[in-house]
């Protein structure tokens, strides 16, 4: 039976006003066959996974429209930005016009508060209020109708009901000459205030995605490429793999490539968050949008277009910003019943005041105040805006977060499993000592070992071959080469049967070793390889993978955060103990094969604690998948974006501590936002129902509630990683 194929789509949604809108749309889409949807009010996007055999992207767009909204496939960031700017200009014109019409009415209200009873003629109030009600306020009527038609309700329903009640009651008082006050100024001012709030909210939401916009703006538009012996300026989009391009001092690299000629240093802060430039020469990899600071570089294009690391980072940030944190579920459940509950409270408020003898006008105005002050916008924006800002800021610091769930879980980690090689250490072992037996020279020892090692892909084998090459040693020919995975190599060199591998491997083959010499190297944290020739020991080769300068400080910081650090190593217990002691880790597992790391992670999870795993994202993939939160360190040119919950662009364990710190700060900000949103409604609705809030004041408070939540989330832009210099 064939597996079900799943397609993915990203839709830009228009017409969502509040959290109840996004919750209603998400529920509607998830009821479709084979569809899994997440709708984000902050980014105004729907991320969908669907079975193309059951439904098409066109049908999904039609389903969105039936729910009362509009949608189109998400375009590139630049196109969407232009559309948002055009929409913002329309909102500004609408608000300015509404404010101009409402100003005389507003001045009349202010005059009354100051004791000046200068009243405009009722016909003039009607003339000013009517275009506001039905032109500027048409969006609320349209939105309310679409929501009700699809069986839901939203903020538009509340605003349309509240302002219509005030407007039409005022019309009745005027036409029938009733002995009641008119409230044209209230309805007109309410709509103007709501428009102001939505305008401020849109501007603040734009600032929330500023980090993503800055990533888009990094890549240059032109590239200098060699074609037919000439240097031409072409669009970056025209570059193809293997094209030769030139990067001058002060220019940005157009695509990912490898240096052919030239020496320079590049500012890679946009990738790693590290402010120190990195030296580049022939054979080194360069990345799109990094800044060439000094010399001229001639490079060959390796990855272009959507395959560059910059594009991968942008995709990951967009994915994270469109995801939904588990803490958002509470707000979604409340939003789904919020508007109907408010309508009931407003009806009860009207009935209670009228039955209490306060009069129709007073009862109606208090009910209007309830309708207007109760808005689920702040509730819906509390979590997603914080996630948008946090993930964008993290990307600027070289921390790429896959989704909001990982961001939420990270600060809860109690155990962190770290792979030794490439995580605590530099991941590039070097030969530190050649210890031949009597009758064998160091040159012969290294030449024979490197001859065998050149046929193996093991990291230590590559180190031996590179060490011999650096010393200009000619390697003898090998016959009958063979490799026993995880143990050692064998073959005939210069007519002698040779074995190369771990001391334990040679011991099992009956080769006697110098135990004192071996233990001396192991206690120093060295990895030891033994070579045997003609069934006798030829010598030992000591190698060391130097510990990163920041590892000890990073471990200490993680422990200070309450995280228990456990090291996994394939080394023997003596070497593993030496490395663990050097970095300050008291708990470690030695002689762990790559395929067994996942079992160790699972055993730690059985204690009921949240377990994280840090590795290179390639060899450690099973263990990363087993962890509750996985961190992958970028290794050389191999980025582990697709392998982990969080990818660290700097090969530095300190970035893990930064990620945990950002998670803690973000969750605190989300809780603050939810507290503000819940507290605002819990306090505001009873005050309005008790007649202690004028509808205009209620409207102003409602307009500013969303702005305050988004502004609070924007404070996350101040967060900076403490572990290293960042921009």
Q: Which residue has the tokens 């190593």?
A: 569
Nearest partner of 253 among 292, 198, 293, judged by Cα:
292
DSSP 413-469: --EEEEEIIIIIB-S--EEEEEEEPTT--HHHHHHHHHHHHTT--SHHHHHHHHHHH
Q: Which of 703, 637, 724 is nearest to 283 (CA)?
A: 637
Per DSSP, which regions of 159-261 are E strands?
222-227, 230-235, 244-247, 256-261
- Residue 549: other Cβ atoms inside 10 A: 10
E strands of 249-391, at which residues? 256-261, 264-267, 278-280, 285-286, 291-292, 297-303
Angle between helices 377-396 and 19-30 (to 10 degrees): 80
Tally the residues of the chain. 727
Helix (H, G, I), strand (E, B) or coil at 581: helix
Shortest CA distance to 222 belongs to which of 257, 246, 256?
A: 246
The C-alpha atoms of residue 638 and residue 643 are separated, in whole angstroms, by 11
10 Å Cβ neighbour count for 722? 11
Angle at CA of residue 610, ends 609 and 616, nearest 5°: 130
Q: Which residue has the tokens 């509607």?
A: 28
CA distance 705 to 570: 55
Of 419, 571, 616, 628, which is the active-site residue? 419
- Whether 419 is catalytic: yes
β-bridge partners, 300: 244, 258
Render the burial of 83-118: b for 16+ CB within 10 Å, e for the rest: ebeeeeeebeebbebbbebbeebbebeeeeeeeeee
Q: Give the tokens for residue 671.
A: 């809780």
HEC string of 257-268 equals EEEEECCEEEEC
Taking Cα atoms as reference points, which of 571, 506, 568, 564 lies closest to residue 538?
A: 506
Beta bridge partners of 587: 566
- Within a 10 A sphere around the Cβ of 460, how many other Cβ atoms? 19
Task: Answer for the pair 9, 21: CB distance below 8 angstroms, yes or no.
Answer: no
CB 136 within 8 A of CB 1: no
Structure tokens at 85: 């700017």
Torsion, CA 505, CA 511, CA 516, CA 522, rounded to 10: -20
d(CA 106, CA 533): 98
Cα 673 to Cα 333, 391, 659, 668: the distances in Å are 17, 17, 21, 9
Measured CA to CA, the distance from residue 609 to residue 628 in angstroms comes to: 9
Q: What b-and-e string marks burial along 122-146, b requiring 16 or more CB atoms within 10 Å of the CB? A: beebbebbbebbeebbebbbebbeb
Cite the active site residues.
419
């Amino acid at each position: 039976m064939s597996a079900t194929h799943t397609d993915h789509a990203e839709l830009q949604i228009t017409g969502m006003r509040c959290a109840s809108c996004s919750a209603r749309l998400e529920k509607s889409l998830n009821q479709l066959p084979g569809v899994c949807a997440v709708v984000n009010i902050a980014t105004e996007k729907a991320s969908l996974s669907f079975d193309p055999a059951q439904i098409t992207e066109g049908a999904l767009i039609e389903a969105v429209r039936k729910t009362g909204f509009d949608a189109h496939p998400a375009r590139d960031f630049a196109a969407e930005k232009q559309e948002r700017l055009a929409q913002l200009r329309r909102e500004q014109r609408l608000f300015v016009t509404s404010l101009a019409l409402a100003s005389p009415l507003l001045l009349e209200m202010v005059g009354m508060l100051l004791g000046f009873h200068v009243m405009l003629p009722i016909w003039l109030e009607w003339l000013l209020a009517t275009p506001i009600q039905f032109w500027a306020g048409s969006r609320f009527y349209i939105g309310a109708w679409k929501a009700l038609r699809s069986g839901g309700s939203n903020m538009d329903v509340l605003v349309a009901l509240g302002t219509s009640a005030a407007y039409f009651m005022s019309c009745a008082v005027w036409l029938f000459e009733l002995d009641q006050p008119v409230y044209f100024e209230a309805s007109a001012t309410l709509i103007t205030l709501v428009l102001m709030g939505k305008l401020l909210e849109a501007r603040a939401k734009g600032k929330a995605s500023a980090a993503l916009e800055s990533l888009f703006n990094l890549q240059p538009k032109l590239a200098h490429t060699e074609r037919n012996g000439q240097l031409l300026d072409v669009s970056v989009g025209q570059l193809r793999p293997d094209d030769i391009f030139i990067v001058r001092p002060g220019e940005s690299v157009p695509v990912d490539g490898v240096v052919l000629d030239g020496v320079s240093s590049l500012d890679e802060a946009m990738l790693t968050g590290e402010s120190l430039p990195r030296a580049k020469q022939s054979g080194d990899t360069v990345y799109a949008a990094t800044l060439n600071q000094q010399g001229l570089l001639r490079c060959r294009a390796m990855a272009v277009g959507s395959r560059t690391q910059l594009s991968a980072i942008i995709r990951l940030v967009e994915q994270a910003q469109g995801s939904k944190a588990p803490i958002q579920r509470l707000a979604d459940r409340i939003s789904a019943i919020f508007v109907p509950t408010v309508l009931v409270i407003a009806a009860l408020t009207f009935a209670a005041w009228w039955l209490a003898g306060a009069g129709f006008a007073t009862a109606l105005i208090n009910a209007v105040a309830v309708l207007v002050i109760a808005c689920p916008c702040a509730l819906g924006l509390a979590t997603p805006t914080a996630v948008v800002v946090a993930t964008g800021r993290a990307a600027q610091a070289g921390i790429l977060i896959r989704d909001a769930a990982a961001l939420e879980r990270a600060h809860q980690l109690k155990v962190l499993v770290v792979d030794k090689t490439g995580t605590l250490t530099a991941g590039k072992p070097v030969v530190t000592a050649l210890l031949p037996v009597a009758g064998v020279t160091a040159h012969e020892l290294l030449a024979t070992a490197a001859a065998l090692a050149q046929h193996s892909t093991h990291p230590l084998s590559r180190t031996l071959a590179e060490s011999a090459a650096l010393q200009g040693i000619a390697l003898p020919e090998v016959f009958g080469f063979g490799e026993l995975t995880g143990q050692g190599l064998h073959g005939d060199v210069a007519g002698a049967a040779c074995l190369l591998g771990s001391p334990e491997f040679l011991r099992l083959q009956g080769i006697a070793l110098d135990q004192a010499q071996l233990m001396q190297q192991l206690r120093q944290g060295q990895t030891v390889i033994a070579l045997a020739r003609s069934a006798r020991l030829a010598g030992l080769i000591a190698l060391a993978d130097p510990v990163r300068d920041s590892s000890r400080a990073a471990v200490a910081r993680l422990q200070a955060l309450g995280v228990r650090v456990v090291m996994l190593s394939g080394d023997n217990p003596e070497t593993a103990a030496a490395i663990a002691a050097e970095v300050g880790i008291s708990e470690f597992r030695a002689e762990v094969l790559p395929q067994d790391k996942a079992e160790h992670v699972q055993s730690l999870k059985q204690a009921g604690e949240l377990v994280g795993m840090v590795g290179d994202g390639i060899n450690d993939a099973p263990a990363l998948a087993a962890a509750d939160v996985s961190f992958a360190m970028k290794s050389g040119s191999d980025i582990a974006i697709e392998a982990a919950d969080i990818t660290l662009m700097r090969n530095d364990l300190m970035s893990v501590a930064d990620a945990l710190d950002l998670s803690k700060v973000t969750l605190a900000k989300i809780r603050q936002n939810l507290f503000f949103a819940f507290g605002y409604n819990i306090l505001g609705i009873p005050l309005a129902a008790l007649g202690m809030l004028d509808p205009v004041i209620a409207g102003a408070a409602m307009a500013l509630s969303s702005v305050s939540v988004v502004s609070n989330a924007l404070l996350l832009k101040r967060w900076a990683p403490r572990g290293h210099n960042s921009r």
